[in-house]
Amino acid sequence: MDAQELAGETAIVTGGAQGIGLAVVRLLVERGARVAIIDINAAAAAEVADKLGRERVAVVQGDLKRRQSVTDAFSRAVDALGAVDMLVNNAGTYPRTAIGDLDDEAWDRCFDVNLRGLYHMTVCAAAHMRSRGRGRIVSLASASAYIPYPMNAHYAAAKAGVASLTRSFAMACAPDGVLVNAVAPGATDTEGLQAQSISSPDLLHQIPLRRLALPEDIAEVICFLASPRNRYVTGETVIASGGIVMA
């Protein structure tokens, strides 16, 4: 694999200031791409850009819960990059609430970030890429979409929606040369998981590989699907769960 295989390519990564998104940004930059991070936390994204180089990483502040904010953020990213070859829909929230305790506010907040914002961003990217006759879109689903988790049923439902949206966008975009896929990670050692204080021994026992994924493990899968090396995979959700879904 050419270390600069993505030279000349451009990418948007939402939620790229930490976790899996940050690992994706690093990998894309290492392989030669220019990246625009769209994140609600502009200060954290700016720190990433300063470390990786402002000539390689642009920062766009955007609140994915609002349609106009998404549209404006995408336009600013295009202005910064010139064009967009790859979109990685990574931004999300990982709430945990017992299924009987969910209220409308918690449900709506989860869907606003994990599904509605992703939908609006994909609409923008699909139109842009279809007009150019090329592009790759990769969205973050979750192994939770395939396994019953009573403590985050709303999250699981939203991520199942991501897998469904992926197939619909893939079918619509295929005639124009745009490939659309998703990746469904299992438990990954990110700030979001650490903040939940989930018992590691109990969690590891459920994973056949007996370890959490590293953000870089998931980023490798995402970057393949987003890159020109992916020439024939579309409409798929690739499960990267350490085997937890098959167990």
d(CA 136, CA 126): 9
**Residues sharing a CB contact under 8 Å with residue 162, sequence separation 6 or more, in sequence order:** 89, 114, 115, 118, 139, 140, 141, 142, 145, 182, 237
Catalytic residues: 155
**End-to-end alpha-carbon separation of the chain, Å?**
33
Largest Cα–Cα separation, the chain: 51
> Which helix (DSSP H) or strand (DSSP E) does residue 104 occupy?
helix 104-111
Helix (H, G, I), strand (E, B) or coil at 128: helix
- Closest C-alpha to 177, from 231, 119, 122, 120: 231
* Cβ neighbour number for residue 151 with a 10 Å cutoff: 15
One-letter amino acid of 4: Q
* Cβ neighbour number for residue 72 with a 10 Å cutoff: 16
